[in-house]
């Protein structure tokens, strides 16, 4: 594991690409710096989610090809890659949200705490109660802030002190101070960033083990984005976080481990974030990260 | 290269010709819209003239009302339309809400009057329902996890409190089946329900007190909850309920004074005063279009002032066919005495049966198709078939549904020919596809991201539907249902097919009575050649029917507009 | 963490889900039952009818008369055809022109007034249109010297036409609004006028949707009962080719009105009563097939532009 060179940059590569291919989409103009404090080695952590030879099809089209990876506990794992590479599909496989799409078919194995979630005896509803999810666009219900956070408690019939859980979840989501006086107001009056933090509070209120985030900051402005990023790092103390992102700097800043998917639903490299951004094994990953677009 | 002569091409003669053609085409298209609208408008004016006979009044009468009513209301309406649109909407709503309220109050007054449901029954039903709801809530509090058990409680509690064990209806249906296959009827001991026990009570309070308890308090309570939530103050909600009850308690004084009776006063306050009060409070608080509140005042003030002046000068009012006597008496051979009361009552009862039969099934089917149905595989094919079938059923002629009602309800299961229930069920089948299609549209308008969020929290399909999708879709579903039910009231052909009688002298007071209905009576009058019928009674009936439909459609459009603004 | 937390759900939740699903599924199946009920129950009596009356005689007979036991459906069919053709001649051009105006020319404000107004037209009960035809339109047309009987084909058909205008205009407008703006812009870009865009681009692009609205409107006209029952009398007549126009001045009886008459008749033989079901089944099959065709065509244009 190469995490000694903590502040090495990828500036050389990015310069070389900007001259060669100015049209490529994710052009990395500034250096990607890897957050030194948040970096751990994967070897130290237990594996929570593991996929073995996972294939996913939408009808006839194959969306994921033979994915093998292991997501470590209480860390932030990032999935990056170009649009349509299957990273969101993989995320949705973990809590079986893909079940809602009729034509989606999953082959291979995906385990959660050692149990294949695609076994016949696994109940997707119960699974989703252990694995929470936050979506790309903030999607609070048109109810009050309080009712939004308490929603999971009511659908899961959890026998808890609802007021206390709502307060605690909003505190964990760094939203409590902003909304504590307006819990009865509609959640739709909040700003986009506040709404997204509310959605995070809603997800953690039911105390899941894993939180899946599907590009949680892509619809937000830079300030709201940085708040969400800080929040994600804090959440990793308690929860296993899997995040899909378009933004490579974001992945570099907040994640411990990174999986790079490339076109065709292929997992090209999965390793420590430092390693991926500084010294990837695969030339295609290096090209993608530096903006050459593999 | 372009010569100077050619350069004129794009600005000169040919341009003018093509522009002329364009204008002619636009005018032709506009004329098409006009032909459709104006021809019907003219016909409506004719029938209204026949029904109301405005020319039988003194010219002075017209002049007075023109000055006191038409000029001010038209003036304010034009002002709102041109300069202050939000106020126009407020004016529309504050005028419309009491009208809809009057319709509701009148419908309930009729229901009480014909003793379809007495006030005591209403009270017993309310108490029994409340007890059942209480049981369900308490069970949910103490055993929150036991979902299946709760479903059992949800079914069992109302059975025990409202229907009794076993329910009378079940015994009756069972005996019907037994007699059909030639077996003796069963009878035996049964546990009476709470509702039946209340009905047995030897003493009962006055009718208007029962109506306050069982109608005003629930309505005011619901509105009070709304007020409390909107003003974020529980006391305001309670104050609202208190005020509402206080207003109804004036009944023994105010009712007889106005000539509508104590019960009439209670109903009028409940439906015509409370909802507008809540609406007006909201308008004033938002301070949006407050000027619109002047419109109903101008309207009512104009009517009152006009009435006073007309009496003062002794101008004769028009001798309309459509008058109080027409609305409150039964059909008669002499045109002057002919009335529309039984058909109005029959149509209200028909509406109850239609709504009760088509709404639950239609909404249930829409929920299945939008939220549950698989899109692929063999069952996906089946669902596709169901959807195509619903689309086609919506276009099947109404007379065919009448034949279905005749063949199914009367000839196959021996229900009485021409009964209210048979007519209601036949028309219910007719509007079922319309209800399904409009409910599907309302469900489809709920964003998928809300469903995903709920599924991501581990909600089951039913939980997603009930707590996330339905609350957002309800206004749209209601709009579609009201429009469909409005269509049901005007349907005539199915009623003819199930043998609804041409003229019924007595208003029905049970669902197995003969069905008189507004369109059926109109059809019967249409074959009468007497000019007093054709240009009088018939026109009055048509206008009554159209006014009821206009109010229903107006309500639906009001709900739709409010709902669209919120999205 | 044990794995049983993801394999089992709180007690009863799954069972409750299943019960709700079945109840809702049963609701969805109700529509299928309605169709089966119509076909099955109508067919039962229709078959009894056809055992008593030769189907060939039914389809080719030129007289329909209950009291004489004549059950030829041809006069009823020509009656229906006559109403449909006249009402289509009124409604289709007016409906499409109105749709063009609403979709291409009307300002938003204008549209917000005209569309609800047309919706209200569609909400007027058909028995009222029948009254209009009988009481007001016929005397009005007589003013122009048309030799109309009290009950006549012309005014009833005109009212049927006006009744189906909103259906044609609203469905056609949907089809025209679905034409992407990029097509219009392309035409404006080469210097086309609004008239040329409307007639040369929008209408051709929306033609399948317009056509589907035509079929649906015709099926409505075929199935229309109350207007013809009120205003067209109760005597069936085969189309008289010697005096084509005279057919319009006289009363006639289409299939729907015949059903109403049979059902309302004081004394009617068993066979006569069953003939009503045979006519009803014929009507159902015709309209069902037309709706099917219309929905198919409409689905195709929606696919094209979505």
Residue-level pLDDT at A10: 38
pTM: 0.85
What is the mean pLDDT of the segment spanning C269-291?
A: 88
* Contact between A123 and C8 (Cβ < 8 Å): yes
Q: What is the band of B260 on the pLDDT scale with cuts at 50, 70, 90?
A: confident
* Most confident range, picked from B181-195, C148-162, C180-194: C148-162
Cβ–Cβ below 8 Å for B396 and C284: yes
Q: Do A157 and C10 touch (CB under 8 A)?
A: yes
Cβ–Cβ gap A97/B472 under 8 Å? no
CATH of the domain at B422: 1.10.3720.10
Rounded CA separation B378/B367 (Å): 20
**The pLDDT of residue C10:** 64
The predicted model gives B94-100 an average pLDDT of: 86
Check if C145 contacts A (Cβ < 8 Å).
no
The CATH architecture of the domain made up of C76-305 is Orthogonal Bundle (1.10)
Query: Which long-range CB contacts under 8 A does B557-564 form with residues at least 24 apart?
Result: B557/B479, B557/C116, B558/B92, B558/B93, B558/B96, B559/B475, B559/B478, B559/B479, B559/B482, B560/B475, B560/B476, B560/B479, B561/B89, B562/B475, B563/B475, B563/B476, B563/B479
Say which residue, A213 or B201, is predicted with more confidence.
A213
Predicted local distance difference test score (pLDDT) of residue B477: 92
Cβ-Cβ contacts under 8 Å, A121 against chain C: 7
Predicted pLDDT of residue B363: 95
> Same domain, yes or no, for B318 and B422?
no
B554–chain C nearest CA distance, Å = 9
Enter the tokens of residue C70: 């004549």
How many structural domains comprise chain B? 3
User: Locate tokens 């089917």: which residue?
Assistant: B365
Q: In what order do the strands lie in the sheet with A47-58?
A: A115-116, A104-112, A47-58, A61-72, A266-272, A257-262, A76-80, A240-244, A210-214, A131-134
Kindly state whether residue B233 falls inside one of the protein's structural domains: yes
Judged by a CB distance cut-off of 8 A, whether residue C10 touches chain A is: yes
How does the average pLDDT of chain B come out, rounded?
85
Identify which of B566, B563, B448 has the alpha carbon closest to the alpha carbon of residue A139: B448
Give a yes or no: residue B11 inside a domain: no
Q: Which of B178-187, B232-241, C11-20, C219-228 has the lowest mean pLDDT?
A: B178-187
Q: Does B503 touch chain C (CB under 8 A)?
A: no
At residue A58, the 3 state secondary structure works out as: strand
Identify the chains in contact with B, defined as 3+ C-beta pairs within 8 A: A, C
Average pLDDT on B194-218 reads 84
Same domain, B348 and B289: no
Look at B388 and C295 and tell me if their CB atoms are within 8 Å.
yes
pLDDT for B421 beyond 60: yes
Residues B362 and B396 in one domain: yes
Q: Which residues of chain A register pLDDT less than 50?
A: 1-31, 36-43, 294
Say if B558 is an interface residue toward chain C (CB within 8 Å): no
- Residue B330 inside a domain? The answer is no
What are the tens digits of pLDDT across the range B11-64? 545 556 677 888 888 899 999 999 889 999 999 999 999 888 888 888 888 888
Nearest alpha carbon to residue B22 among C100, C206, C168: C100
Residue range A229-271, pLDDT digits in tens? 999 988 888 899 999 998 888 899 899 999 998 878 888 889 8
B-C contacts at Cβ under 8 angstroms: 282
Question: For an interface test with B, which of A117, A141, A143, A161 has the most B Cβ atoms less than 10 Å from its Cβ?
Answer: A141
Per residue in C186-211, pLDDT tens?
888 888 888 888 888 899 888 888 99
Binary contact (A117, C5; C-beta < 8 A): no
- List the structure tokens of B417: 């020919």
In a domain? residue B328:
no
Q: Any idea which of B301-305, B473-477, C72-76, C241-245 has the lowest mean pLDDT?
A: C241-245
- CA-nearest residue of chain C to B466? C20
Between chain A and chain B, the number of residue pairs with CB atoms below 8 A apart is 82
Instruction: Give the one of C135, C230, C259 whose C-beta lies nearest to B523's C-beta.
Output: C230
Chain C residues in contact with B9 by the CB 8 A cut-off are none
Q: What is the pLDDT of residue B358?
A: 94
Measure A151 CA to nearest chain B CA, in Å: 8
- pLDDT at position B464: 92
Tell me the C-alpha to C-alpha distance, in Å, between residue C123 and each of A141, B248, B516, C165, C170.
36, 37, 21, 12, 13
Q: In this prediction, what percent of chain B has a pLDDT beyond 70?
A: 95
Q: Looking at the structure, do residues B253 and B389 belong to the same domain, yes or no?
A: no
Q: Are residues B50 and B106 in the same domain?
A: no
Is residue A152 within 8 angstroms of chain B, CB to CB? yes
CB-CB under 8 Å, C6 with A115 = yes
Question: Quick check: C58 and C71 in contact, CB under 8 A?
Answer: yes
- Do residues C215 and C174 touch, judged by C-beta distance below 8 A? no
- Token pair in block for residue B238: 């309670």
CATH architecture of A45-140+206-289: 3-Layer(aba) Sandwich (3.40)
**Contact criterion met (CB below 8 Å) for B170 and B190:** no
Q: Return the structure tokens found at C271.
A: 């066979």
Q: Assess whether B240 and B144 both reside in one domain.
A: yes
Residue C305: the pLDDT is 65
Locus of tokens 């530096």 = A290
Query: What kind and span of H or E run contains B5?
Result: helix B4-7
Is the CB of residue A125 less than 8 Å away from at least one CB of chain C? yes
**B221 alpha carbon, distance to own chain's centre:** 21
- Specify whether B347 is located in the same domain as B203: no
CB atoms within 10 A of CB B62: 16
pLDDT band at C4 (very low <50, low <70, confident <90, very high): low
Residue A158: what pLDDT?
77
Cβ neighbours of A128 in B, within 8 Å: 455-458
Query: B393 and B532: one domain?
Result: yes
pLDDT at C306: 57
The predicted structure's pLDDT at residue B145: 65
B295 plus B341 within the same structural domain: no
Give chain A positions within 8 Å (CB) of C14: 123
Euclidean distance between CA atoms C261 and C239, whole angstroms: 20
Which domain does B39 fall in, by range? 23-55
B399 and B262 in one domain? no
Among the candidates B38, B55, B72, a domain finishes at B55
Residue at which a domain ends, from B55, B76, B104: B55
Facing residue for A100 by CB, picked from B232, B380, B455: B455
> DSSP letters along B296-360, please?
HHHHHHHHHHHHHHHHHHTPPPP--SSSHHHHHS---SSGGG---HHHHHHHHHHHHHHHHHHHH
- The whole-number pLDDT of residue A248 equals 86
Q: Where are the domains of chain A?
A: 45-140+206-289
Predicted complex ipTM? 0.91
Q: Does C12 touch chain A (CB under 8 A)?
A: no
Question: What's the angle, vertex CA B477, arms to CA B476 and CA B478, rounded to 5?
Answer: 90
Nearest-by-CA chain C residue for A122:
C7
């Amino acid at each position: 594991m190469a995490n000694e060179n903590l502040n090495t940059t990828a500036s050389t590569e990015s310069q070389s690409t900007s001259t060669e291919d100015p049209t490529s989409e994710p052009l990395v103009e500034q250096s990607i710096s890897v957050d030194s404090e948040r970096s751990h080695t994967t070897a130290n952590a237990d594996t929570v989610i593991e996929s073995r030879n996972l294939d996913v099809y939408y009808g006839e089209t194959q969306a994921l090809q033979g994915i093998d990876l292991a997501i470590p506990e209480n860390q932030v794992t990032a999935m990056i890659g170009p649009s349509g590479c299957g990273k969101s599909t993989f995320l949705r496989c973990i809590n079986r949200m893909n079940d809602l799409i009729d034509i989606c078919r999953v082959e291979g194995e995906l385990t959660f705490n050692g149990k294949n979630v695609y076994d016949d005896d696994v109940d997707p509803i119960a699974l989703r109660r252990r694995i929470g999810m936050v979506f790309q666009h903030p999607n609070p219900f048109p109810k009050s802030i309080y009712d939004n956070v308490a929603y999971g408690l009511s659908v899961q019939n959890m026998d808890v002190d609802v007021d206390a859980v709502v307060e605690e979840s909003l505190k964990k989501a760094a939203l409590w101070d902003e909304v504590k006086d307006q819990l009865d107001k509609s959640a739709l009056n909040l700003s986009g960033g506040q709404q997204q933090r509310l959605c995070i509070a809603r997800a953690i209120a039911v105390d899941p083990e894993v939180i899946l985030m599907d590009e949680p900051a892509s619809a937000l402005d830079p300030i709201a984005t940085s708040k969400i990023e800080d929040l994600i790092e804090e959440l990793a103390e308690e929860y296993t976080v899997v995040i899909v992102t378009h933004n490579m700097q974001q992945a570099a800043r907040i994640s411990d481990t990174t999986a790079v998917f490339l076109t065709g639903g292929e997992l090209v490299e999965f390793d420590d974030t430092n390693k991926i951004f500084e010294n990837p094994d695969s030339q295609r990953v290096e090209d993608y990260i530096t903006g050459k677009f593999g | 290269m372009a010569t100077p002569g050619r350069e004129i091409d794009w600005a000169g003669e040919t341009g003018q010709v093509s522009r002329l053609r364009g204008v002619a085409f636009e005018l032709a298209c506009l004329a098409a819209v006009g032909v459709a609208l104006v021809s019907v408008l003219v016909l409506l004016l004719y029938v209204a003239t026949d029904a109301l006979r405005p020319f039988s009044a003194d010219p002075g009468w017209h002049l007075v009302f023109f000055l006191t009513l038409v000029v001010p209301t038209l003036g304010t309406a034009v002002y709102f339309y041109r300069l202050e649109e939000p106020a126009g909407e407020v004016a529309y709503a504050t005028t419309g809400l009491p009208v809809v309220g009057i319709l509701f109050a009148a419908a309930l007054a009729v229901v009480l009057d014909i003793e379809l449901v007495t006030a005591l029954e209403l009270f017993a039903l309310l108490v029994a329902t409340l007890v059942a709801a209480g049981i369900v809530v308490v069970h949910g509090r103490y055993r929150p996890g036991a979902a299946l058990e709760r479903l059992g409680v949800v079914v069992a509690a109302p059975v025990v409190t409202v229907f009794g064990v076993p329910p009378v209806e079940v015994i009756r249906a069972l005996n019907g089946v037994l007699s059909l296959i030639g077996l003796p009827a069963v009878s035996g001991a049964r546990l009476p329900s709470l509702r039946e026990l209340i009905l047995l009570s030897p003493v009962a309070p006055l009718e208007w007190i029962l109506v306050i308890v069982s109608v005003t308090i629930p309505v005011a309570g619901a509105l009070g909850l709304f007020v409390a939530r909107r003003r974020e103050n529980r006391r305001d909600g309670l104050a609202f309920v208190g005020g509402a009850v206080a207003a109804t308690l004036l009944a023994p004084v105010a009712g007889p004074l106005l000539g509508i009776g104590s019960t009439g006063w209670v109903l009028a306050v409940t439906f015509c005063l409370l909802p507008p009060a809540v609406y007006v409070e909201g308008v004033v608080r938002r301070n949006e279009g407050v000027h619109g509140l002047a419109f109903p005042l101008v309207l009512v003030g104009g009517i009152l002032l006009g009435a006073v002046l007309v009496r003062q000068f002794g101008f004769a009012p028009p001798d309309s066919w459509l008058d109080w006597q027409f609305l409150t008496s039964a059909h008669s051979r002499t045109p002057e005495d002919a009335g529309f009361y039984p058909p109005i009552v029959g149509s209200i009862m028909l509406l109850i049966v239609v709504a009760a039969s088509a709404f639950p099934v239609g909404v249930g089917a829409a929920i299945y198709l939008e939220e549950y149905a698989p899109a692929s595989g063999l069952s996906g094919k089946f669902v596709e078939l169901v959807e195509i079938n619903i689309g086609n059923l919506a276009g099947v002629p109404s007379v065919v549904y009448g034949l279905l009602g005749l063949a199914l309800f009367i000839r196959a299961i021996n229900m009485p020919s021409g009964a209210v229930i048979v007519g209601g069920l036949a028309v219910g089948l007719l509007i079922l596809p319309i209800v399904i299609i409009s409910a599907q549209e309302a469900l489809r308008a709920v964003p998928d991201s809300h469903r995903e969020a709920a599924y991501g929290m581990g909600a089951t399909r039913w939980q997603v539907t009930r707590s996330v999708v339905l609350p957002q879709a309800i206004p749209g579903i209601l709009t579609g249902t009201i429009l469909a039910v409005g269509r049901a009231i005007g349907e005539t052909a199915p009623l003819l097919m199930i043998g609804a009688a041409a003229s019924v002298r007595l208003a029905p007071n049970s669902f197995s009575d003969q069905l008189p209905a507004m369109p059926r009576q109109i059809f019967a009058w249409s074959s009468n050649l007497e000019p007093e019928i054709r240009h009088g009674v018939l026109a009055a009936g048509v206008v009554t029917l159209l006014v009821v439909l206009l109010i229903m459609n107006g309500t639906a459009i009001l709900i739709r507009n409010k709902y669209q603004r919120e999205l | 963490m044990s794995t049983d937390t993801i394999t089992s759900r709180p007690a009863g939740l799954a069972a409750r889900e299943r019960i709700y699903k079945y109840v809702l599924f049963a609701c969805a199946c109700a529509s299928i039952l309605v169709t089966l009920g119509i076909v099955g129950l109508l067919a039962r009596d229709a078959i009894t009818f056809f055992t008593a009356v030769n189907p060939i005689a039914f389809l080719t007979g030129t007289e329909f008369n209950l009291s004489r036991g004549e059950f030829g459906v041809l006069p009823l069919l020509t009656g229906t055809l006559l109403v449909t053709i006249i009402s289509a001649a009124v409604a289709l051009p007016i409906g499409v022109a109105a749709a063009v105006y609403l979709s291409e020319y009307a300002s938003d404000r204008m549209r917000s007034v005209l569309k609800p107004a047309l919706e209200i037209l569609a909400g007027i009960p058909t028995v009222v249109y029948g009254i209009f035809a009988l009481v007001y339109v016929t005397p009005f047309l007589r003013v122009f010297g048309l030799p109309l009987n009290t009950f006549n084909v012309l005014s009833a058909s005109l009212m049927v036409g006006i009744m189906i205008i909103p259906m044609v205009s609203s469905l056609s407008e949907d089809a025209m609004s679905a034409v992407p703006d990029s097509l219009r812009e392309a035409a404006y870009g080469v210097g086309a006028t609004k008239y040329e865009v409307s007639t040369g681009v929008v209408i051709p692009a929306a033609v399948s949707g317009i056509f589907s609205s035509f079929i649906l409107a015709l099926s409505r006209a075929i199935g229309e009962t109350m207007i013809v029952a009120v205003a067209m009398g109760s005597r069936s007549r085969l189309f008289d080719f010697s005096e084509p126009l005279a057919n319009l001045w006289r009363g006639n009886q289409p299939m729907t009105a015949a059903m109403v008459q049979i059902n309302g008749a004081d004394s009617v033989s068993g066979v006569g009563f069953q003939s009503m079901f045979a006519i009803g089944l014929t009507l159902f099959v015709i309209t069902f097939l037309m709706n099917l065709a219309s929905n198919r065509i409409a689905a195709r244009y929606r696919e094209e532009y979505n």
